[in-house]
């Protein structure tokens, strides 16, 4: 009697920022439905630890990796080596059949450890300018997935596929009135959403605070949803309290789909994951790229959206309250302009990004002889293996 195949394991290194973690979770969800076990490899940072608290049915492993901050090479090298040893030990105990890195400093050690146990290896690069870790990893992986097609020429990789950046399945068109009520706002008044990424952005917070007098004067009906980050929460809340404005100020919001669903216009950094979520929910946006991002990649992310008509941009060093207020006024008062931006945003959204990445991983595992058990309670009457079944699901989604 032939023994049942074991459940194949995919390790996904997705720590460091929400921009790495949440797209990794989107891919993990698809792979789980395709019969895989998932091991999430994250960093010790608070944003990672908080985000995975709601994750169920997946192993979570914290790696001691640290980013290269202010040229401090010593802590970076120690963290890299320790993370490699932890991943190697874990993979020796239970070898994964595939390893996917979602970018950032937690990605390289698991890829190298995965190569050591014969796993198929991949990474996803979400930004227009690939990060240093992924540029270095490119020759060592079987394939790279990218969010911006322009990133391909900077990656010396065996195979590169433009998939877009995955978003979680809750990011879809929603009723704005219901989202606003859920957040304590008025259902029928326009909303300006302010967000600075998973940890807030002090410069964006300050610029908006300085613009409140102008914004309230030119748009008396405007209400605000401001995600400040923990460090600026009190300062931002007090600033709104000094004006006769309807505002909901939060340090952090787990249900980002509600925030985007409520928004008429947004102000945002230009991280790739935030852009993917804005595109998925068609929110017109003023982008203020983080000027200290590695290789100024947020500027190039933003510029790609601006060139396509999907966004407006202010550079942080040049932005003034008057410039921001005028830009917001133009978007709020011109529905046709917003509609044009929504059409452009739609072209940036690839609804099957997570499915495309998962299908490539499943294909590679199948080529390596991995067998997929039939999920409990289901009989495999279709004659399709998980790879082909996943492809059929994607074709159906595209046809719809």
Task: Provide the 8-state DSSP code for 287.
Answer: E
pLDDT of 78 reads 83
Span 242-278, pLDDT tens digits = 998 999 999 988 899 999 999 999 999 999 999 999 9
Q: How far is CA 112 from the centre of its chain?
A: 23
Q: How many angstroms separate the CA atoms of 122 and 106, rounded?
A: 14
Q: For residue 279, list its beta bridge partners.
A: none
Span 268-314, pLDDT tens digits = 999 999 999 999 999 999 999 999 888 899 999 999 999 999 999 99
* Contact criterion met (CB below 8 Å) for 300 and 128: yes
Confidence of residue 396 (pLDDT cuts 50, 70, 90): very low
Q: How many angstroms separate the CA atoms of 222 and 64, rounded?
A: 45
Structure tokens at 214: 């102008």
Q: How many angstroms separate the CA atoms of 236 and 27, rounded?
A: 35
Report the pLDDT averaged over residues 335-343.
97
Confidence of residue 48 (pLDDT cuts 50, 70, 90): confident
Q: How many angstroms separate the CA atoms of 100 and 103, rounded?
A: 9
Span 187-217, pLDDT tens digits = 999 999 999 765 558 999 999 999 999 999 9
Confidence of residue 64 (pLDDT cuts 50, 70, 90): confident
pLDDT of 121 reads 97
The side-by-side arrangement of strands in the sheet containing 37-42 is 59-62, 37-42, 9-13, 98-101, 120-125, 143-146, 160-162
Q: How many angstroms separate the CA atoms of 368 and 362, rounded?
A: 10
Report the pLDDT averaged over residues 323-335.
96
Q: Would you tell me the crossing angle of helices 272-281 and 18-33 to the nearest 10 degrees?
A: 60
pLDDT of 378 reads 44
Q: How far is CA 346 from the centre of its chain?
A: 17
Q: Would you tell me the crossing angle of helices 321-333 and 202-218 to the nearest 10 degrees?
A: 60
The SS3 assignment for 94 reads coil
Does the pLDDT value for residue 221 go beyond 90? yes
Of 53-62, 105-114, 347-356, least confident by mean pLDDT is: 53-62
pLDDT of 2 reads 43
Does the pLDDT value for residue 400 go beyond 60? no
Backbone dihedral angles phi then psi of residue 314, each to the nearest 5 degrees: -125, 130
Residue with token string 């690069």: 125
Does the pLDDT value for residue 106 go beyond 70? yes
Does the pTM surpass 0.75? The reply is: yes
Report the pLDDT averaged over residues 1-19.
76
Q: How far is CA 171 from CA 48, 146, 258, 277, in A?
A: 20, 20, 9, 7
Task: List all residues 6 or more positions away from 396 whose beta carbon is below 8 Å from its beta carbon.
Answer: none
The SS3 assignment for 27 reads helix
Q: Would you tell me the crossing angle of helices 386-399 and 353-367 to the nearest 10 degrees?
A: 160
Report the pLDDT averaged over residues 161-182.
95
Percent of the chain with pLDDT over 70: 89
């Amino acid at each position: 009697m032939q023994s049942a195949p074991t459940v194949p394991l995919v390790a996904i290194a997705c720590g460091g920022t929400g921009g790495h973690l949440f797209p990794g979770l989107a891919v993990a969800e698809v792979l789980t439905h395709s019969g895989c076990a998932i091991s999430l490899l994250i960093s010790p940072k608070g944003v990672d630890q908080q985000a995975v608290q709601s994750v169920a049915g997946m192993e979570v492993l914290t790696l001691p990796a640290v980013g290269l901050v202010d040229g401090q090479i010593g802590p970076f090298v120690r963290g890299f080596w320790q993370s490699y040893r932890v991943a190697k030990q874990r993979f020796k105990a239970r070898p994964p059949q595939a390893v996917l890195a979602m970018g950032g400093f937690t990605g390289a050690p698991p890829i190298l450890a995965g190569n050591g146990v014969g796993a198929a290896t991949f990474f996803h690069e979400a930004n227009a300018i690939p990060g240093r870790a992924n540029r270095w990893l490119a020759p060592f992986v079987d394939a790279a997935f990218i969010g911006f097609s322009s990133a391909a020429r900077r990656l010396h990789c065996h195979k590169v596929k433009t998939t877009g950046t995955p978003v979680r399945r809750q990011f879809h068109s929603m009723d704005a009135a219901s989202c606003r009520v859920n957040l304590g706002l008025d259902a029928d008044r326009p909303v300006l959403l302010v967000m600075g990424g998973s940890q807030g952005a002090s410069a964006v917070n300050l610029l908006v605070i300085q613009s409140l007098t102008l914004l309230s004067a030119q748009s008396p009906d405007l209400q605000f949803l401001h995600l400040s980050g923990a460090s600026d929460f009190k300062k931002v809340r007090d600033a709104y309290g000094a004006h006769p404005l309807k505002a909901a100020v939060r340090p952090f919001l787990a249900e980002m789909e509600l925030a985007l669903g409520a928004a008429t216009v947004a102000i945002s950094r230009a991280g790739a994951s935030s852009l993917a979520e804005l595109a998925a929910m068609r929110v017109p946006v003023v982008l203020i790229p983080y000027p200290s991002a590695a290789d100024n990649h947020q500027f190039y992310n933003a510029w790609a959206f601006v060139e396509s008509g999907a966004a407006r941009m202010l550079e942080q060093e040049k932005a003034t309250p008057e410039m921001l207020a005028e830009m917001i006024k133009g978007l709020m008062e011109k529905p046709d302009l917003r509609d044009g931006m929504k059409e452009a945003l739609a072209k940036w959204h690839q609804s099957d990004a997570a499915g495309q990445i998962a299908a490539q991983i499943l294909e590679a595992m199948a080529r390596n002889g991995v067998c997929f058990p039939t999920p409990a309670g289901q009989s495999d009457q279709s004659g399709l293996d998980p790879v082909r079944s996943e492809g059929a699901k994607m074709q159906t989604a595209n046809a719809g």
